[in-house]
Chain A
């Protein structure tokens, strides 16, 4: 019998063509990255300082992505649902920051109290985004809880477009430029690296927010309720957790993070418009998946990774491969990362923090 077992070759490869195709993509991708980076670095086209700048830019960009990604990941953790409209929540935070700073700049308060003004803008942006996120959940998502997954997802796409074009209609479709903040001009030398001030502000704020979030989730009663609902909503309800309120709170906290990110993003780029939530939203989702969706530290790791990949990738890989005007393909690079991650490691770097249910 034992011999018979050995003679019957066990078929584990289910569809060799498909799998070998995917392996081919994998190998080509790795070869392209290695070859491109090697050519770029050995050519010495960029100086060390330029590379360091790209890294700092990547980290600051990545911390913004991480903040947005937290919203995706927390909502996914409790509802297994991709809140496609989260990018718009982020955009509204930036929009609010614009109106606040613009209003303050007309009064002179902006010049006399620059740091306080920025803080006000941050708080206002977070407040508006929180309200929008909670309202969205209440109006559009809550009635659909328990429906097949695609139904709330399509609703979220609808909400995303509605929010975009409502913002465009109400506040105008032009680019809105934030006033100049003189305190943020120039740069700081930090551990031997030259860092532009806005980016430093972004990184510090993001770190503070994430530490705050960590304490909220791990050390408070509300955080315990969130984790319980994420684990098993039904049991949590039986244990006396108010599931509706907890889910609202998850949306609220995610919205607050996105609002802060929106304000920081507007600060770095100096402008915001009704459409500026879409691309960062998708990228932050990529970051969430990259780190392992449903996993809070994963969102942070994923955000930073994506920020770095996106900032270094085009110059490092694409230019090395001889692609002209590689910066144009920055977004494409991010989307490519998204596709590759979902194909080859859908559970992300740190792994999904949920039992994969049978769909």
Chain B
């Protein structure tokens, strides 16, 4: 059975069906790209998987367990972490703290141990792990950057920090929402490699929403195309890229007829 299975998932906003009877599955260790024109329901799909939005119907099964109805924090604990399209860090916390926060559900020390200073060892571990995670990105987020506030980072570094934060929660599946949006070609290339490294070195399963077709081509094992909340194609990059319905969804009916 697949690691993540989505069966008959639906969600509408006041009559508009953002996700409509969607079936989808992701195998362990796969990198799946979700593509589709603006408003196809890609981000809604992520919000449903991570529990930020309640579903209307259908089920989301992680490792044979239906996670529909769980709180977002419980879903993260089960191993699904994500990034956001419009980077949502904790702006006034430092880079290191941003990553330390993500280990919340993997650590225990509460208020009383903190007051009695029984949390020293755990704190040390959290800190060390945060710094190791940040070192994954080379020299970009380490050293003096540890103590800088997230708001003072550059756009690309914010995106990296968001990924680091997701990594620190020890996920099995990472959902990346447009990881290269707003990046220059060099940084985009770097991000493409990074996504590959995330699987190779960290053995994550990755679902990525992406507009840049070069990135999609570069990273995906499989591509799922959405339009109006429905799945219109599912297969390798080549298959999906030449699928008539996908071209139609992107370019409109007329363009296809002319072609």
Binding site for B on A (CB under 8 A): 1, 5, 8, 10-12, 14-15
Contacts and interface: CB of A to CB of B under 8 A. Distances in A.
Contacts of A15: 71
A10 B68 contact: yes
18 contacts: A1-B7, A5-B7, A5-B59, A5-B66, A8-B59, A8-B61, A8-B65, A8-B66, A10-B66, A10-B68, A10-B69, A11-B68, A11-B69, A11-B70, A12-B69, A14-B69, A14-B71, A15-B71
Interface in B120-136: none
Interface of B: 7, 59, 61, 65-66, 68-71
A14 B72 CA distance: 10
A11 B69 CA distance: 5
B91 to A, nearest CB: 11
Among B7, B61, B68, B69, residue most surrounded by chain A Cβ atoms (within 10 Å): B69
Chain B interface main SS type:
strand
Contacts of A12: 69
Nearest to B55: A10
A5 B7 CA distance: 9
A70 B65 CA distance: 51
Counting from the closest, the 6 A-B pairs by CB-CB distance are: A11-B69, A8-B66, A12-B69, A10-B69, A14-B71, A5-B59
B44 to A, nearest CB: 13
A278 B59 CA distance: 51
Contacts of A8: 59, 61, 65-66
Given A1-B7, A5-B66, A8-B66, 15 more contacts: A5-B7, A5-B59, A8-B59, A8-B61, A8-B65, A10-B66, A10-B68, A10-B69, A11-B68, A11-B69, A11-B70, A12-B69, A14-B69, A14-B71, A15-B71
A11 B7 CA distance: 17
A248 to B, nearest CB: 32
Contacts of A11: 68-70
Contacts of A5: 7, 59, 66
B70 to A, nearest CB: 6
A151 to B, nearest CB: 14
A8 B70 CA distance: 13
A358 to B, nearest CB: 10
A8 B62 CA distance: 12
Contacts of A14: 69, 71
A146 to B, nearest CB: 16
Contacts of B68: 10-11
Contacts of B7: 1, 5
Nearest to B58: A5
B200 to A, nearest CB: 33
Contacts of A1: 7
A11 to B, nearest CB: 4
B55 to A, nearest CB: 9
A150 to B, nearest CB: 14
Nearest to A10: B69
A15 B66 CA distance: 17
Contacts of B59: 5, 8
A5 B55 CA distance: 14
Nearest to B68: A10
A15 B61 CA distance: 21
A113 to B, nearest CB: 57
A11 B61 CA distance: 13
Contacts of B65: 8
A15 B73 CA distance: 12
Nearest to B54: A12
Nearest to A9: B66
Contacts of B66: 5, 8, 10
Contacts of B71: 14-15
B213 to A, nearest CB: 30
A243 to B, nearest CB: 25
A51 B25 CA distance: 67
Nearest to B66: A8
B150 to A, nearest CB: 16
A15 B71 CA distance: 9
Contacts of A10: 66, 68-69
Nearest to A7: B66
B105 to A, nearest CB: 16
A296 B68 CA distance: 39
A12 B57 CA distance: 12
A31 B65 CA distance: 41
B220 to A, nearest CB: 27
Contacts of B69: 10-12, 14
B79 to A, nearest CB: 17
A11 B60 CA distance: 12
Nearest to B69: A11
A8 B68 CA distance: 10
B5 to A, nearest CB: 10
B89 to A, nearest CB: 16
